[in-house]
Amino acid sequence: TWTTGNVIDEQVASIREMVGNKRAICGLSGGVDSAVAAALVQKAIGKQLTCVYVDHGLMRKGETEQVEKDFVAATGVELKVVDAEERFLNALKGVSDPEEKRKIIGREFIRVFEQAQAEIVAEAPGDQPVEFLVQGTLYPDVVESGGGTGTANIKSHHNVGGLPEDLEFKLIEPLRQLFKDEVRMVGQELGLPEEIVQRQPFPGPGLGIRIVGEVTKERLDLLREADAIAREELTAAGQDSQIWQCPVVLLADVRSVGVQGDGRTYGHPIVLRPVSSEDAMTADWSRLPYEVLEKISTRITNEVRDVNRVVLDVTSKPPGTIEWE
């Protein structure tokens, strides 16, 4: 019979056997999958695992702290945090094209990851080699990417949770047979905090693909504020379990006229994109209660500088994808 306890026991045993006395690394993205995969491997091989968290500056508010504090507190894992904000922002300078952004972010991520890996080896040269890479691949990922089903490649997905494809590692993928809800149950059983286990999906390229236009630090800060308000109000209204996720998008290249405080403003719109979905392959726009939308809209326009309009995306997928880029 399927129980989370059985899954954990089986995986722990097979990971131990596979890794032996070698070492492994795991990229953490702050997302559920990489967190649960890391916790599971950590349970199996303890200090032989080092987690790497690349802070690319495209994270949401509180995300880095969550990984640094909550995840480490819950698992006791060895964590290496790399501050790569400047590097990513430099690489993204002047770039507005979505695919180009995704490629740049993916490329920079691999570079930073390689550097971190070399540092880990250099820091403990006498130790066993780092031979394994942990990936939070789920069953739907396996199905989607396998077997030439002819699915059009709509976007270059970068699972920044750890997908340096051209790195030479043996893979550990302890979640390969599980669906998202099962992964959450396993994470819970492993003692991960609720805020990590129940997190909604968030794209690897982060807020970089939620700014329509060039990505700058100033725009990221603005979007971070708006996103934090939306998340806070959705949580307060008990909507987290009702929706699949709610991207908050900054239309940085668009301005509209508004009237705020003492007079006319010329600011940017923020788009709310709440969706309901089973697997993100298709989605419907969520019918959020008007009161919740009103609260979010009022707070964002009051509290976020340079934003004078909040609009709601009422497009299903297809034709619209969940993310705007």
Binding site for ligand XMP (CB under 6 A): 154-155, 157-159, 201, 203-205, 245, 280, 317, 321-323
- Residue 27 vs 204, nearer CB to ligand XMP: 204
Kindly report the backbone phi and psi dihedral angles of residue 260, in degrees, each rounded to the nearest multiple of 5, phi listed first. Answer: -140, 140
Q: Is 31 annotated as a binding residue?
A: yes
Question: What is the rounded CA–CA span in Å between residue 281 and residue 154?
Answer: 11
- Residue 130 vs 183, nearer CB to ligand XMP: 183
Cβ neighbour number for residue 167 with a 10 Å cutoff:
13
The CB-of-158 to ligand XMP minimum distance in angstroms stands at: 4
Q: Is 27 annotated as a binding residue?
A: no
SS3 call for 73:
helix
Strand partners of residue 132: 24, 170
The CB-of-33 to ligand XMP minimum distance in angstroms stands at: 8
- Residue 137 vs 159, nearer CB to ligand XMP: 159
The CB-of-299 to ligand XMP minimum distance in angstroms stands at: 23
Residue 317 Ramachandran class (φ > 0 left, ψ -120 to 50 alpha, else beta): beta
Q: Which helix (H) or strand (E) holds 98?
A: helix 98-123
CA distances from 59 to 173, 223, 261 (A): 25, 10, 31
Question: What is the rounded CA–CA span in Å between residue 43 and residue 76?
Answer: 10
The CB-of-324 to ligand XMP minimum distance in angstroms stands at: 8
Block residue for tokens 């979007």: 223
Q: Give the up-direction half-sphere exposure of residue 285: CA atoms within 13 A in the CB hemisphere.
A: 14
Q: Is 33 annotated as a binding residue?
A: yes
The CB-of-237 to ligand XMP minimum distance in angstroms stands at: 21
Bond into 318 cis (ω within 30)? yes
Q: Is 35 annotated as a binding residue?
A: yes
- Residue 4 vs 242, nearer CB to ligand XMP: 242
Q: Is 30 annotated as a binding residue?
A: yes
- Residue 286 vs 308, nearer CB to ligand XMP: 286
Q: Is 277 annotated as a binding residue?
A: no
Q: Is 276 annotated as a binding residue?
A: no
Alpha-carbon dihedral 239, 241, 242, 245, rounded to 10 degrees: 90
- Residue 87 vs 317, nearer CB to ligand XMP: 317
What is the Rg, in whole angstroms, of the alpha carbon atoms belonging to the chain?
20
The CB-of-12 to ligand XMP minimum distance in angstroms stands at: 26
DSSP code at position 21: T
- Residue 34 vs 301, nearer CB to ligand XMP: 34
The CB-of-24 to ligand XMP minimum distance in angstroms stands at: 21
Q: Which helix (H) or strand (E) holds 251?
A: strand 248-251
Q: Which residues are annotated as a binding site?
A: 29-35
Q: Which residues are annotated as a binding site for ATP?
A: 29-35
